Structure 1
Amino acid sequence: MSLTFDSDVSLNATDAAVFLSERDVAGQIPINFVTTSAVNLQSACFGDNVYEEHAAGKCISNLLAVGYRHFIVDIYWSPDQRDWLFCPVSIPQDDTVVTVSSTYTTATTTTTDAARATVTETATPSGSTVYELGPYRCSKHLNLSDLISVFHDFFRTYSSELTVYTRYISLNLHAGASATTPEKPASTITGSHLPTGSEYISSLFDDHLSSYIYMPSQLAAERANLNESWYEVEDDYKPITEYFTINEAANGDQSTPDGWPCTKFLQLAKQKRLLLEYGTIDPQMQDYNLSYMPDIIFPQNYLTSTISVSLDADNTLSTSGCFYNPSATTISQANSSWAQSNYIPIPSAPTRNMTLTEMSLVISNLTACGLTPTLNTTLFNQTANSAIAPYTDISLSTSWAWAIGQPADAASSSSSSTNGSIDRCAVMDLTTPGGHWHAINCTESHYSACRVQNDPFTWQLSPSTHTFANAYSAGSCPKNSSMAIPRTGLENTYLYQYLLTRTDVLDPSSENPVMTKVWLDFNSIDVESCWVTGGPNVDCPYASDPQQLERRTVLVAAIAGIVICIIAALTLFVKCNANRRNSRRGKRLIKGWEYEGVPS
């Protein structure tokens, strides 16, 4: 039986607001420049070498629920089972009489006649069966289809505008080892032992997730004619063109050789939720036909540019992999397209809490440098199905915008006003490492962050301080600039570093510097926890919570249905009444057709 999405965890309101607000503020940034969170399933779900169905389903579900976006998946082709397994060993298919015990700790050992492999079969507490093959304990049928089934169920469960995020899967292909020698390299797979037809990975994804997949052919078609693709939607769904190359034909049609759609276009306009790519491929699987149904999966490492990262002696992130360049003014000078760390460096620390804290700081530095952090470690020797808390902390650490605990609940904030709703405006707090954001009282006076034209990395400061409402008014920013907000972690770093150079208003050595907070074009004045850009009078596009949005959607659909029924009834009534009147008129035949009209 295929697995389903089955998570027992969820994000709290503040964490959900963090992910949603970051998604929306980056909505027009091409997806290749938006940092996410990457996790290796081998480490997070199978670090204990146990490949059991129900535990795997719970693990994958938990990782999806707490916000991981990019999944690195190792799968093994078993020519014996004709299937893609998570288990590194191909389980024998010989007809062997095996007695399955009723507890997890007892087992019956059998020996296959064909392969002479010692196989131990046990029953787990959930009732499934696992085989002990050397150091591995594997369910016989835990396969790629189970992963696909969990994702499909997850996409159906989380389908409202508030909960839609694009996911990525990188597939590393391996050959399953022989059960006789489970710890030795697998044999090369050739000829009839290779997958065929419906066994191809692309076919499996196409059968169950095709409506959610953004495909290579779609990218190619959209790149070839931007006027009829990315430019054909509302302005808020168009990508920021400063992030890619644009070519214009004589007739005015525009195209791009390297652009990607933005998140709003992909997730909301096109309703695509998944991109697939091939990752590493073992030499034993070199004969696998990657070109079978090529329109489903992007070529090897098409969605990943792996960057080597390391820590300096003081446990700080080395700058060698950082895309922040003080002299950069264009994307080509700080091109972080699909940049992803090769791993998350783990500092040495004496306690679990210190390790997690330091690791979170490293992750924050990675996203500030324009990198997607990759978790390829089994945290504290526990997989995410049994101990999701540390994995949740790592996922939340990939947030590049808000400080810890922010955005604070406006209703509980310490406002001097009786109206707590005014504590709903965002500032970059220069006293926070990295320049993370805080939600503060909208009536305070601060300088404003002003973007020069639409350049990603060029900022200026308003000439004077204002309240949030006045900061957004005309003339508050220098010429050729406007009040704005960083849209990625790397953009945030450029603004933060620029503000630190403004010693005319910020004296780092002073105990009471003039400027410690700077207004950003971000507020939740209309609806608590709904953060929007565009000034103090912009309405929230969502309800205050997903449930309310869904109830509103159902209500609108119900009302529309009632209206349609009323219109249909009225139409039928009018038509029947007209027919009744017309039936009193004379009829005549014209060329064999019965014609209704006034008698002559």
Structure 2
Amino acid sequence: MTSPYPYDPDPQAVVVAPWSVAFRAQRDVGLKIPINYVTVPAVSLKAACFAHNQYEDSAAQKCFSNLLASGFKRFIIDVYWDTGRSQWSLCPAEIPESASPADDTTSISITQSTSVKSLMTAPISLPIFERQASSISSRSSTPAARTDSATSSTPTLSFTGSSSTSMAYSAAATPTEFPTAGEPLVQIGQYNCTSNLGLQFLSSILSGYLKDTSTTIGASLIYLVLNVHVAAPYSSPNSPAMQPDPSALPKDENFLGHLLSSNLSSYLYTPSMLQSQRGNLNESWRLEQSNLPVAGYYKTNVSGNGIPSTQDGWPTETFMEFKNFLRLVTSFGAVDPQMASYDFTNDADTIFPLNEIISLKDVSISTSGSVTTGCLFNPNITTITSETNSSWAMFPASSLPNLASNPNATIPIPAIMNLTSCGISPLLNASLSNTTADINPLAYLSFSYSTLWSWAPGSPNNSTLIDDNPNNDLRCAALYGDANGRWRAVDCKSSHRVACRGSTPYTWSITPDLFAYSDADQACPDDTKFSTPRTALENAYLYTAALASANTGSSDPGDLPIIYLDLNSLDYADCWVTGANSTCPYKNSDNVNHTKIVVVPTVATVIVFVLAVATFFVKCAANRRDLRRGKRRRNMGGWDYEGVPS
């Protein structure tokens, strides 16, 4: 059955090569890192899609689709409980059940049109009403201030509007009519909303995205953080929201956890799963070597009967995506005081508690984009301490340069690049170039590209050109000192110094002598290993070690270091793996009738099962489909990917 709100991005919003190759290689080198230490681009949906108070379904569908296609992985979503309709909405004001232009008690207008282009191209400048703060009792019906209108010098998850103008809208003001290609557009005060814009609307689009990217080369984790509000009354939409009567709060099928599970249960990683897995690591993350997280990223305890457990650990992307087919994590963010009586215990098995997957950091950024305070990189500390702990670290980046309508993708946004290098996920909580992502996705794509901490802009080099030139063998990766520690592809026969990892996550050394890539794995001293950075912070530490080694003298003829990394595409163009003799895990067999590839995407492992006859293969595949009930992944050529058989 076709979804009424499918995932449908603009072609210009989609990440393309070489960026797609770079992001996939970056994902793969970090597959064994606990997910809380992996930096990802985050965005406030209110900032990117609703900055001008236009909550229209077709524009929102395009906007959310474009953000997903552009590589954003963490979404801050403001949801509003509409007490009149008893449902969750994305519109900050209540929408009456049967609003019409004849209703003269409120400033409501309904319009229907087939022309959405005029709405998108017309300049929209709606001032934002400043809500007045007030206090409420737990059961009072007195209006209270929204949390999303507060301003503070400390980091928050709230949308930072670009307009400094404020004015009060009259409830009886004559509304401005805007056309829409979708549902009727209802204007309530300063907001223009369609009634179908809610959490299930977003779930439908997200479900389509997860299905479209359910391949070994396209899969990634998505995080949803829900800010919980009460919608302002439609009779006074520009006033603070009211405290709902306890009998009017969400119940049964309207609990947020239920709504998410109804469409996305097969993808959800839940608090109960985490608790169970933490309780016995031998039966979860340590059960198979391919899922084993790298050491040093969480603390473990051993019980009297020898069972290891952890209180702060998280699984790896390998374990979640490619072993258990789980790709979605949800959490509560900010909660309005008016919703304090909401029964959060009903969501406890589905949605993580307040700020469980967010740790907002106090960071200062200069006008040039440099991180002046709050960076989690400390060259004197090579283990994870309170000073270097980047677990779920995030910072709202609201003061960004006014990007061009078609920004140069090879020039990263300095503040975003530097935040990422500091181990902090940048949160976009302001609209870019005063446009939303449905109108101009290129500015948002530029933000996403700026969070790439591994490859230099435009790298790795175009493999088609490499294949056409037999004298060009740029199939090995190296860290470049003149690219701020980013990577470029180099000729594997050339000689460079080698990156050697120590026993802790941030310990690196550089060989004084030069080696060809084929000899690099034998070049590192005892107790170290030829390796590749797996996180942004690990890369920052390696870059610092490389610069220090260049200053102490070496046989490297360059002024700035070029350091070999344990990463190559020798087996297959655009497929970057660790280990000189490793094969690409994403190749299909030529004999598709008799061979099925089951991929363990840990960068280096492929298990090929050769079946005796094609009919036997078809029968087995059908049986597995029944057992899996659709929880599968497709390989590049369309084959079902099901992980390692148990």
After superposition, the C-alpha distances for 1:306-343 in whole angstroms (9 at most, x for unaligned) are 11333225x23233210001111211251111000122
Q: Does 1:531 align with 2:576?
A: yes
Residues 557-576 of structure 1 aligned to structure 2 (within 5 Å): 562-563=615-616
The answer to whether the 8 Å contact 2:49/2:60 transfers is: yes
Aligned to 1:385: 438
Aligned to 1:494: 541
Aligned to 1:516: 561
Residues 312-461 of structure 1 aligned to structure 2 (within 5 Å): 312=366, 315-332=368-385, 333-347=387-401, 360-413=413-466, 418-420=470-472, 422-433=473-484, 435-453=485-503, 455-461=504-510
Residue identity matched to 1:169 = L
The Cα shift of 1:348 comes to: 7.3
Q: CA separation in 2, counterparts of 1:393 and 1:29?
A: 26
Aligned to 1:542: 586
Q: Say if 1:557 and 1:14 are closer, same or farther in 2 by CA, change over 3 A.
A: farther
Q: Does 1:311 align with 2:362?
A: no
Q: CA separation in 1, counterparts of 2:406 and 2:438?
A: 20
Aligned to 2:31: 27
After superposition, the C-alpha distances for 1:205-255 in whole angstroms (9 at most, x for unaligned) are 11111110000011011001000100012x232111310001112333211
The Cα shift of 1:293 comes to: 3.2
Q: Does 1:11 align with 2:15?
A: yes
Residues 38-57 of structure 1 aligned to structure 2 (within 5 Å): 38-57=42-61
Q: TM-score, normalised by structure 1?
A: 0.84
Residue identity matched to 2:358 = T
Aligned to 1:90: 94
After superposition, the C-alpha distances for 1:123-167 in whole angstroms (9 at most, x for unaligned) are 734242101112211102211110111111111121111111010
The Cα shift of 1:486 comes to: 0.6
Secondary structure, in 3 states, of the residue corresponding to 1:209?
helix
Q: CA separation in 1, counterparts of 2:428 and 2:74?
A: 10
Higher relative contact order structure (alpha carbons within 8 Å, sequence separation ≥ 6) = 2
The answer to whether the 8 Å contact 2:410/2:457 transfers is: no
After superposition, the C-alpha distances for 1:522-550 in whole angstroms (9 at most, x for unaligned) are 0000010100012x1100111289xx9xx
Secondary structure, in 3 states, of the residue corresponding to 1:18?
helix
The answer to whether the 8 Å contact 2:230/2:336 transfers is: yes
Q: Say if 1:561 and 1:87 are closer, same or farther in 2 by CA, change over 3 A.
A: farther
Secondary structure, in 3 states, of the residue corresponding to 1:278?
strand
Q: CA separation in 1, counterparts of 2:250 and 2:179?
A: 30
Q: CA separation in 2, counterparts of 1:122 and 1:354?
A: 33
Q: Say if 1:558 and 1:205 are closer, same or farther in 2 by CA, change over 3 A.
A: farther
Q: Does 1:260 align with 2:314?
A: yes
Higher helix share: 1
Deviates more, 1:303-312 or 1:483-492: 303-312
After superposition, the C-alpha distances for 1:51-98 in whole angstroms (9 at most, x for unaligned) are 111111111111111111000000111011111111111012257576
The answer to whether the 8 Å contact 1:347/1:359 transfers is: no
Secondary structure, in 3 states, of the residue corresponding to 2:20?
helix
Number of residues of Structure 1 aligned to a counterpart in Structure 2: 544
The Cα shift of 1:481 comes to: 0.5
Q: CA separation in 1, counterparts of 2:373 and 2:346?
A: 39
Residue identity matched to 1:345 = S
Residue identity matched to 1:466 = F
Secondary structure, in 3 states, of the residue corresponding to 1:242?
coil
Q: CA separation in 1, counterparts of 2:182 and 2:196?
A: 14
The answer to whether the 8 Å contact 2:405/2:443 transfers is: no
Q: Does 1:301 align with 2:345?
A: no
Secondary structure, in 3 states, of the residue corresponding to 1:380?
coil
After superposition, the C-alpha distances for 1:484-531 in whole angstroms (9 at most, x for unaligned) are 111000000001111111245559xx9x64662010000000010100
Aligned to 1:213: 268
Residue identity matched to 1:360 = I
Residue identity matched to 1:539 = T
Q: Does 1:224 align with 2:226?
A: no
The Cα shift of 1:298 comes to: 0.2
Q: Say if 1:8 and 1:517 are closer, same or farther in 2 by CA, change over 3 A.
A: same
The answer to whether the 8 Å contact 1:164/1:267 transfers is: yes
Q: CA separation in 1, counterparts of 2:475 and 2:33?
A: 24
Aligned to 1:592: none
Q: Say if 1:254 and 1:566 are closer, same or farther in 2 by CA, change over 3 A.
A: closer
The Cα shift of 1:261 comes to: 0.5
Residues 138-153 of structure 1 aligned to structure 2 (within 5 Å): 138-153=193-208
Residue identity matched to 1:243 = Y
The answer to whether the 8 Å contact 1:120/1:131 transfers is: no
The Cα shift of 1:359 comes to: 6.7
After superposition, the C-alpha distances for 1:569-597 in whole angstroms (9 at most, x for unaligned) are xxxxxxxxxxxxxxxxxxxxxxxxxxxxx
Q: CA separation in 2, counterparts of 1:410 and 1:41?
A: 36
Q: Does 1:199 align with 2:244?
A: no
The answer to whether the 8 Å contact 2:405/2:440 transfers is: no
Q: CA separation in 1, counterparts of 2:355 and 2:619?
A: 55
Secondary structure, in 3 states, of the residue corresponding to 1:151?
helix
Aligned to 1:469: 518
Q: Say if 1:537 and 1:355 are closer, same or farther in 2 by CA, change over 3 A.
A: closer
Q: Say if 1:346 and 1:514 are closer, same or farther in 2 by CA, change over 3 A.
A: closer
Unaligned runs of 5+ in 1: 107-115, 568-600
Secondary structure, in 3 states, of the residue corresponding to 1:301?
coil
Q: TM-score, normalised by structure 2?
A: 0.78
Residue identity matched to 1:63 = L
Aligned to 2:238: 183
Aligned to 1:584: none
Aligned to 2:64: 60
The answer to whether the 8 Å contact 2:510/2:545 transfers is: no
The Cα shift of 1:414 comes to: 11
The answer to whether the 8 Å contact 1:225/1:254 transfers is: yes
Q: Say if 1:557 and 1:182 are closer, same or farther in 2 by CA, change over 3 A.
A: farther
CA RMSD of aligned residues (A): 3.1
Q: Say if 1:414 and 1:160 are closer, same or farther in 2 by CA, change over 3 A.
A: closer
Residue identity matched to 1:304 = I
After superposition, the C-alpha distances for 1:553-579 in whole angstroms (9 at most, x for unaligned) are 699899876125799xxxxxxxxxxxx
Q: Does 1:161 align with 2:216?
A: yes
Q: Say if 1:287 and 1:2 are closer, same or farther in 2 by CA, change over 3 A.
A: farther
Secondary structure, in 3 states, of the residue corresponding to 1:154?
helix
Q: CA separation in 2, counterparts of 1:155 and 1:558?
A: 30
Aligned to 2:83: 79
Q: CA separation in 1, counterparts of 2:536 and 2:619?
A: 52
After superposition, the C-alpha distances for 1:365-410 in whole angstroms (9 at most, x for unaligned) are 1110000000111111111112111111111111100000001123
Q: Say if 1:467 and 1:198 are closer, same or farther in 2 by CA, change over 3 A.
A: same
Residue identity matched to 1:445 = S
Q: CA separation in 1, counterparts of 2:55 and 2:172?
A: 19
Q: Does 1:239 align with 2:241?
A: no
Larger radius of gyration: 1
The Cα shift of 1:358 comes to: 7.7
Q: Does 1:481 align with 2:533?
A: no
What fraction of aligned residue pairs are identical, expressed as a percent? 35
Q: Say if 1:365 and 1:353 are closer, same or farther in 2 by CA, change over 3 A.
A: farther
Alignment equivalent of 1:275, drawn from 329, 340, 345: 329
Deviates more, 1:3-12 or 1:551-560: 551-560
